[in-house]
Amino acid sequence: MDLVQLLLKTMIVTGASWVLWALVALSVLSLGIILERTFVFHRLGGDAAELGERLVTYLEVGDLEKARRMLGSLPSVAARVAYEGLLAFEKGPESAAEAMAAAKAMQRTRMEERLAILGTLGNNAPFIGLLGTVIGIIKAFHDLSVDNAGAAKAVMGGISEALVATAMGLFVAIPAVMAFNYFQRRIRAQITASDGLVHLLLAELRRRPEAGLRAPQGSAQGPQGSA
């Protein structure tokens, strides 16, 4: 038996059922990722404009420690990025800028977790469904070849069942693509908000290189200004 006959026999015996079950499993996986990412983005969200106003209020009175405590208590991306900048401020504004850049990269990586799976499903689920359709059509024509009496019924019934795999592939792909694009927009929005807060913080810190911002308790001296 050559390879073509072996593959043909395997497809006829297995049919497209295994493809459908695989697509069902992938749809459950996709839904789980969408729900998990929705929860994460909801938690990481926040009003960056309000956060910036609160931060400036603390900086204007020179209370760096209160600003740190406020940022450290918030889970939003912008707050975490600014918090790392304040932690590094005693080393100079340039060090603060580098610390915030590193924090922003880490937060972006955190937000992008598992999104590659959604993108892969969105791009490839239709092809998996198409594979099931092709297998189903092959089986339908094989049934036709062995049962000429019920030719039309066998072919049409088999093709109808085969097309279910294509529909299932689209059912998996469309929500995955929509969710992937939505989360990518949320990531861009969070990064943009973080960039705005970073520039605001650096502008405030550089505007008063010797502003008398109070250092944390136990520190021997205040923050050093940039040259």
- pLDDT string in tens for the chain (227-residue length): 577 677 777 777 777 788 889 999 999 999 999 999 999 988 887 777 788 888 878 877 777 788 888 888 888 888 888 888 888 877 777 888 888 999 999 999 999 999 999 999 999 999 999 988 888 888 777 777 766 655 566 667 667 777 888 899 999 999 999 999 999 999 998 898 888 888 888 887 777 654 444 444 444 343 333 32
Cβ–Cβ under 8 Å, residues 76 and 55: no
Q: What's this model's pTM, rounded to 2 decimal places?
A: 0.77
Crossing angle of the two packed helices 151-207 and 77-87, in degrees rounded to 10: 30
- How much is the pLDDT for 227? 29
For residue 1, the model assigns a pLDDT of: 56
What per-residue confidence (pLDDT) applies to 225? 37
Extract the tokens encoding 116.
Answer: 């590659």
Kindly list the domain boundaries of the chain, sorted by start residue.
14-207
Write the pLDDT tens digit of every residue in 121-180: 999 999 999 988 888 888 777 777 766 655 566 667 667 777 888 899 999 999 999 999
The confidence score (pLDDT) of residue 217 equals 43
- Relative orientation angle of helices 17-44 and 93-111, to the nearest 10 degrees: 150
